[in-house]
Amino acid sequence: MSYQAVFSSLEKQLEWQRELYRHFHRHPELGLQEHETSERIAAELGTLGYEIQRIGGTGVVGVLANGDGPVVLARADMDALPVTEDTGLEYSSTVAGVMHACGHDMHMATLLGAAKVLADHRDAWSGTHIALFQPAEETAAGARAMVADGLVDKLPRPDVALAQHVMPMEAGMIGTTAGPILSAGDSLKITVHGRGAHGSMPHNSVDPVVLAASIVLKLQTIVSRETRPGQFAVVTVGASNAGTTANIIPDRAELRLNIRTYDTELRKHVMASIERIVRGECAAAGSPKEPEFEYYDQFPLTSNDAEVNETVTRAFTEHFPDGQVHRADPATASEDFSTIPDAFGIPYTYWTVGCVPAEAYRKAVASGTVSSDIPANHSPFFAPAIDPTLETATRTQVIAALAYLGKKN
């Protein structure tokens, strides 16, 4: 279909979107506390004619029913991060220690912009558009909270779900792929037990520091020795804590692990291996008590449906003919978006949009300094270029929706 008519009014609404973006950026709120943010979104969506529901605490969903046809759900996230902003931007965060450092402010401003385009051009499409704004993506709690609050029963059943994320790549570029695009992420707290003693009397102890050290080394073999070469898995020990001072052998140690995988079977295998190694090392050390395992911050796999990805990618390529659309490499980051389509049992696709000014990005690529010179998501220096990111990411949300809802003439 031709998008020319649909986007004829985009230029005029961009200033409203820029202002929305700067507003969200100035007033970030942490996960499950997005009260002001969700008020603003509900107000804007209401003005556009969407029917509003509050689901899962601060979650907001707008439904625009526009005749017969498919139902498309588009999702944005709303939460900020506990990061102190250091961008020096005129519209920097006004909240101490909190920052939109992952670009969720951009996701909100672009989904609202897409909602306006669709609301203003109802003659171009037929069906139902659902604009879903979820809380607490960063802690994997938000999508789950919406599902637990009856999301599936409160909305018309979508045929397809869509989501996007800004990434530190060249602004204007769009990355799509079939299959895994983000990893499953699991955090795990392990407590192992020893027997405390005076630091001068190690023979009276079961030293949990030595035990934990041995576990950390042995865990490295899960990826290097147990995982098929070329298959993706990450096992990171991000924290190792035991003891308080030099001359006391403590009675326990705590490890915190982060696990990333693209494959459900491998994920299960990695977890089983971790538990096996920890139990084995505890037995070898003569640990007096079974170790404890506590999984938390668990993110599902994001794996795009091949058919939905193809439909959306084809529509993107038609609309962005100048090579902006490329095949995205799967990222090792994680997301809880798929919790929503999985709850409905529907297919989905998730794509990435670049947000770094082209010149700066190309310069960094040429000098091989992308990882050091281009601030990525979660950095206190993360500063997406409003233009052209806002416009590109608004167009992608509209085009992906119209790939299903657009009138075929």
Site for Zn ion in 71-130 (CB under 5 A): 102
Pick left, alpha or beta for residue 103 (phi over 0 → left; psi -120 to 50 → alpha; otherwise beta). Answer: left
Cα separation, 28 vs 80, in Å, equals 5
- Residue 129 or 165: the one with the smaller Cβ distance to Zn ion is 165
| Least spacing, CB of residue 377 vs Zn ion, in Å | 5
Say if CB 205 and CB 197 are below 8 A apart: yes
β-sheet bridge partners, residue 252: 193
| Least spacing, CB of residue 60 vs Zn ion, in Å | 18
* Residue 321: strand, helix, or coil: coil
- Residue 170 or 336: the one with the smaller Cβ distance to Zn ion is 336
CA distances from 405 to 57, 226, 260, 301, 332 (A): 29, 46, 35, 27, 32
192 CB contacts (<8 Å, ≥6 apart)? 208, 211, 212, 215, 252, 253, 254, 255, 278, 281, 282, 287, 291
- Residue 317 or 379: the one with the smaller Cβ distance to Zn ion is 379
- Residue 274 or 356: the one with the smaller Cβ distance to Zn ion is 356
Site for Zn ion in 28-67 (CB under 5 A): none
- Residue 140 or 399: the one with the smaller Cβ distance to Zn ion is 140
| Least spacing, CB of residue 349 vs Zn ion, in Å | 17
**Where would I find the H helices in 27-158?**
35-47, 104-120, 142-148, 151-154
Say if CB 83 and CB 148 are below 8 A apart: no
| Least spacing, CB of residue 311 vs Zn ion, in Å | 24
Site for Zn ion in 208-227 (CB under 5 A): none
The pairing of beta strand 127-134 with beta strand 71-77: parallel
- Residue 41 or 124: the one with the smaller Cβ distance to Zn ion is 41
Say if CB 104 and CB 77 are below 8 A apart: yes
- Residue 194 or 300: the one with the smaller Cβ distance to Zn ion is 300
| Least spacing, CB of residue 61 vs Zn ion, in Å | 19
Cα separation, 187 vs 238, in Å, equals 10
| Least spacing, CB of residue 102 vs Zn ion, in Å | 3
| Least spacing, CB of residue 348 vs Zn ion, in Å | 16
Residues interacting with Zn ion, by CB under 5 A?
102
